[in-house]
Structure 1
């Protein structure tokens, strides 16, 4: 990896982390084109810089993070499924992280779901979106169910935000409330994923060079700044327009990737 590649991946992360299009999937695609997808540091980088994007949520919604202990307990409950399954499936997930074909197929399948999700849960939008305390109406049972939906994102290309938002909508939350809870849930999830990835990296005997440390710093800062802009834009758009445009985007991108991979340029990097 070099500085240009680090910057490209960080900008992609910042833009896509909160959109239901899969930030990890996009970084796998980009790193595959740059022929660095299978590099151990690249795998570390694509996980760790998500922390920068996640911290933008703490800044934008800082008041929510100091309201009550109940809020933290609900996030903890929602976080538990990812901890358990993440530890059990760690090796499988690492293998999938090298497969642009898996990403392409998952993008397409998820795209078709997003084309229909607004119609499936149209009744949810009668919920009063103007309530700043809307997140407090999320029960512990609802939080746990959303946590299980989030685990679907362990398949690259699924989208952590998309899976958890749709999970929230299955529990009768409107788009905005489900999206915001998804953002909050990202904080412990990505803190945990970052800590686990760094531990595994050092356990395997790798040591970060000075350049690699700089890549991680630059990546986190850029992802943070770009994500600040992306969150506000996404919430406004989602509340008014829904998911369809993201569904079409996923399907077009997934099909294009399959065509490129099988007929033009093999994306899998060995």
Structure 2
């Protein structure tokens, strides 16, 4: 058990374990986006930083088939931040919120040595999509293309440049696919820590392993910050899921089948 999971295990609560906490028809989720941990201000504009901070939180709501309604922002800003940079942050938050009909209802701001952001979302759902629900013989699939975020992060760490449309900066969220396919999905989450790491979470909560249809390179399976969707469904619904993926122009890769075996994650932990 890594340190992150150890810390989480200290809190015994039935609501912990998904991308957000489901209480009634509401989903409450929170993510941190900290300078020198998740980004550097030399990599992204203040607008891009704020927008991504919102988008990674919106991704959690989408993963649970929930519609985000309200946002609370906590922003710790360096003392040397300019008013222009503050306006960029505000515009980034607001544009990301407007794209999904979210109302920013408050939060907190403090002075800090660097830029640290935390976002709390309140969402609603009629048919929640949880991590628990995988049975033996279900198919596992992910949306989009994996591996590009890790490659672009490596470029940035080596003082290189990335394309302005890079997924590391501009996330491609899969709201339409999840909404249209939710009735056929039995389990789901977003891929934030990497495919192999997030499969470990599904394996643990469902007490199940996976048989890969073909080998997936570690450069693909260990790439974090992807924010694609990882879903499971009954093989009898395969064509229905694929049809809806095509309708929403969502690339979908079916890569594994669940089975009663142990699963081992070969990636290093991202957080600790």
Task: Between the two structures, name the one with larger relative contact order (CA 8 Å, sep ≥ 6).
Answer: 1
Query: TM-score normalised to the size of structure 2?
Result: 0.30
TM-score, with structure 1 as normaliser: 0.30
Bigger share in helix:
1
